[in-house]
Structure formats: C-alpha cells, structure tokens
Amino acid sequence: MHNEIESVIDTAARIVFEARRVFVLTGAGISAESGVPTFRGGGNTTVWRGMQFEVLSSKQMVESNLPLVWEWFDYRKGVVGECRPNAGHVALARAQANQRFGSFTLVTQNIDGLHVAAGSDPVIELHGNIHRARCSRCGTLRELSDLPHGGRPPICPGCGSPMRPDVVLFGEMLPEEAIRTAQRDASSCDVCLVVGTSGLVYPANELPRVARSSGASVIEVNPEETVLTNSCDISIRANSAEALPRILPA
C-alpha cells in the first residue's frame, strides 16, 4: 500500500514537471492540517447552535437574520485567526512563483485567506473571503480590520447601509469575473490538480471536468474517494500537506 502511494506520487510529479499550464482547485481539505474544520466528512463546523451550516450559510439566512449570520462568521473568523498556512499552501505558493510554468492558476473555494497568507498571488477566491465585508446595497468592500471594531452589522462607509460578510452563500451567484477566469483557465490547462474538495458544490465542482474534457490530466489529492474520483486520471490518497510538496517543484 505504502509503495503504491509512493509510485502514484512519482507519476504525478512527473506529469506536473512536464506541464506548461497548471490549474489548481482547492477546497477545505487543504486547510484541514492548519486546523480549519472541513464542512463535510468530519470537522466541527457542520452544525453550530443546532443549525446545519447549509441553513446558516444561505441567501435566505442573510436576508432574514443578518445579525445571526455575523455571529456565525465571527465565530468562524476566530477559529481561522488561529490558523497558519501549512506545507501544502506553501508548496503551491512556491510552485506558482516558479518561472518554469507558462501559467499557474490557483482557484480556491476557501474563504480563510490561507493561500494569500502563504504568498500565493494571484488567488481566485470563488466563494469570497471571511476577512472582508460587503455592502448589501452598494457593494462597497472593506477589510473587517479597517472597520470600527465590533459594530454588527458593520455600516457601509459609502452609503450607510448594513454590510454583510463578503462570502458566497448557498443560492447566491459566484463573482462573475472569478468564475469566468476559472472556467477559461481550466479549459486551457495541461494539468489540473484537485486538492481537498468533496466536489459536491456547484459550480466549482464542474472545473475538473472542464479541464479533463479539454484534454488535461486531472490529479486528485484527497485521503478519501470523492464524487470527482472517477473523472480523475490519478488519485493520490494522502493528506495535501504531505503530498503537495512532493509533486510540485519548489
């Protein structure tokens, strides 16, 4: 079993080494080893105060109970604030900075900001960022750290309306440019790495199939089988902090 994983990692490393255009999609699993709970398959954010996260993190909840949504995200921000990037985030940041690739697109579903903290630039954040607020009326964006502390909901400095967390909740559209760029780069890559995602959430879960149908090799890094596994060429059954430093050039 051990030797089998070693040989799969070697094969993946060879494919990545020969690639010109790399596309990476990450999910909650890449931050698991930093201490950020995943949504599904363990972790402890699935239920909070007796409510499922799908109910809390929804368009309906932000419309019906914004103060509760802020409490939920302030709690989560407290957890994320204690976490630092792990070896998986760092390996991706180094590979992106490596000039050997013609392009290296990093797309994340995570809102924790750990890719940016690891030095990745640019990062396409499909589901927003927990450290930012957005005006519900005029769309003004602000880092939470730049707003007067504690006021909930924060008040928009532009128009005086209540602000909400700048995250994409169930039933909401993804930022248009982010998903458009992600789809474009997925359709023109040679290698697509799918790291730490259950692949259950649309439309991010379509990106690996877009890559594969355009001829890319798709490599999954996940300790568990997922709904995407059958559409991947290679599946590395390992934690990302262990596997990524071994398949990506520094």
Which residue lies nearer to ligand BJW by CB, 103 or 183?
Answer: 183
Distance in Å from the first CA to the final CA of the chain: 27
Asked about 127 being catalytic, the answer comes back as yes
Question: Taking CB under 6 A as the rule, does residue 85 contact ligand BJW?
Answer: no
Using the contact rule CB under 6 A, the part of the chain among 95-103, 168-176, 183-191, 211-219 near ligand BJW is 168-176
Instruction: Choose, by CB under 6 A, the member of 198, 208, 216, 220 that binds ligand BJW.
Output: 198
Tell me, residue by residue from 213 to 242, as one string, x for binding to ligand BJW by CB under 6 A and - for no binding: --------xxxx-x------------xx--
Which residue lies nearer to ligand BJW by CB, 106 or 221?
Answer: 221
| Three-class secondary structure of residue 5 per DSSP | helix
Using the contact rule CB under 6 A, the part of the chain among 5-13, 23-31, 98-106, 211-219 near ligand BJW is 23-31
Relative to beta strand 191-195, strand 163-167 is unpaired
By C-alpha distance, which of 170, 246, 231, 229 is closest to 201? Answer: 170
Give the pair of three-digit tokens for residue 105: 């697109």
Question: Taking CB under 6 A as the rule, does residue 209 contact ligand BJW?
Answer: no
Minimum Å gap between C-beta 137 and ligand BJW is: 20
| 69: region left, alpha or beta (phi > 0 left; psi from -120 to 50 alpha) | alpha
Relative to beta strand 47-48, strand 51-52 is antiparallel
Relative to beta strand 191-195, strand 234-236 is unpaired
Are 114 and 130 in contact, with CB atoms under 8 Å apart? no
Minimum Å gap between C-beta 102 and ligand BJW is: 27
Residue in 2, 89, 115, 127 annotated catalytic: 127
Are 53 and 111 in contact, with CB atoms under 8 Å apart? no
List of residues contacting ligand BJW (CB under 6 A)? 27-30, 32-33, 38-41, 53, 57, 109, 111, 127, 167-173, 196-198, 200-203, 221-224, 226, 239-240
List active site positions. 127
